[in-house]
Amino acid sequence: MTGILNTLCTVLACLSVGIVGSYVAHPNRDPQVVKLFTRQGVANQYPPPDIPGPRPRAEWIDALNREKQAGRIPHLKPSIKTADQSVKYDPGVNGSDPKICSWTIGCRSPTDITDAPAGMMGISFDDGPEPASSQLMEFLKSVNQTATHFMIGSRIQQSPDAFAVALKQGGHIAVHTWSHPLMTTLSDTAVLGELGWTLQIIFDLSGGRLPAFWRPPFGDVDNRVRAIAKNVFGLQTVIWNQDTNDWCLTPHNTNTCGAEGPSNEAALDLEMTRFVNMPKNPGLIILEHELTIHSVRGFTHAWPAIQKAGWDTRPIPSLFNAPWYQNAKGAYDEAIHLTSLLNASEVVASARARLADTSNSTSANSPLNSTVPVPPAITSPQVRGSISGTSHKRSAFQILHLIFVQGLILTVM
């Protein structure tokens, strides 16, 4: 039996190398990042849900220390959580200083994705998977639209089936931390645990896809947290330029935020209509949530107006013709890795070397921010917003890969 498994692993490795030509390398991606994630079985223990700053794995701490020694992590103290659930810094420290650049305090970093290109609307939802996610996914399928889902690791742990639906339907999965804290208030190691465990569970349950994008809860990020996300884990920070405060609506269609949020679903509809009819330069990235049926309806009710206004709707990476994952181009492309992450990193490195001489794409190698001119994304004829360039039929690699996928066995439509 061991011999058979070894033979199958060898075949998988060969087939993986054979599909490298369809992979577009993630910009500025160090293949060593992939080594930080050893494939875990679903039965393995993750941190308890909703515990802020879970203890990171030793490999992640080692990687953080290397980045610190190289001078790539700013020496900044964590911010202080205030009574109104915001943040402040020590007396005399200006959080809006470009050296700190706290988004919460008003600094907009040029390295963050905040705006979509002119005429485009980035479709994304935070805080899933939740019970309301099923209605969102049904609607997205009915209108042939894909979206970015910034998922909380603890919610994935509690609702793996809903996660599998989003993945199978072609959704783009991104990171929204393990417990949804104010990230700048955490220590370096706590930031590491929040990001790392969310990456780990997505990696484990997605057939080995390594996320490339993350959104900080409440938008709370500064240069220290950005640097840990980018330099340790290869994550691009995504913010937004319009906020509906739809998360304020309870399952009973009441408001928990007072004057700051919509009073009910009808008020949310009016706010979405206002955003949809705004000028198209810059493009829109609206903060939306799949928390309740009412927050989901904020999007579904606005959809006819979005279409009528002529917005080009895409998941976040497709706004910039960027790969969806660090090791896979799109929703239906094979992830360039095996169960051995060392082998996978070698395959990714090989792919990058081969593409260096053949790729003529400028956008995939440009800094990801909304000020960089990019060509239109390559869209799938089947699903709006997809950039997958491979057939949706099962390959020999997929058939063999199913033998090794642990827990959730995902098939490609």
Task: Cite the active site residues.
Answer: 126, 289
State the Cα–Cα distance between residues 113 and 317, nearest whole angstrom: 10
The pair of three-digit structure tokens given for residue 163, joined into one six-digit string: 């996660």
Give 295: exposed, middle or buried? Use CB within 10 Å, 0-12, 13-18, 19+: buried
State the Cα–Cα distance between residues 42 and 405, nearest whole angstrom: 10
* CB of 407 closer than 8 Å to CB of 205: yes
State the Cα–Cα distance between residues 301 and 236, nearest whole angstrom: 30
* CB of 241 closer than 8 Å to CB of 284: yes
- How crowded is the C-beta side of 158, counted as CA atoms within 13 Å? 15
E-only strand ranges, 332-387: none
Q: How many other CB atoms are found less than 10 A from the CB of residue 247?
A: 19
E-only strand ranges, 283-370: 284-287, 312-314
Residues in the chain: 413
* CB of 144 closer than 8 Å to CB of 303: no
* CB of 34 closer than 8 Å to CB of 327: yes
Kindly state the DSSP code that residue 100 receives in the 8-state scheme. T
In 3-state terms, the chain is what percent helix, strand and coil (to 5)? Answer: 40, 10, 50
* CB of 146 closer than 8 Å to CB of 331: yes
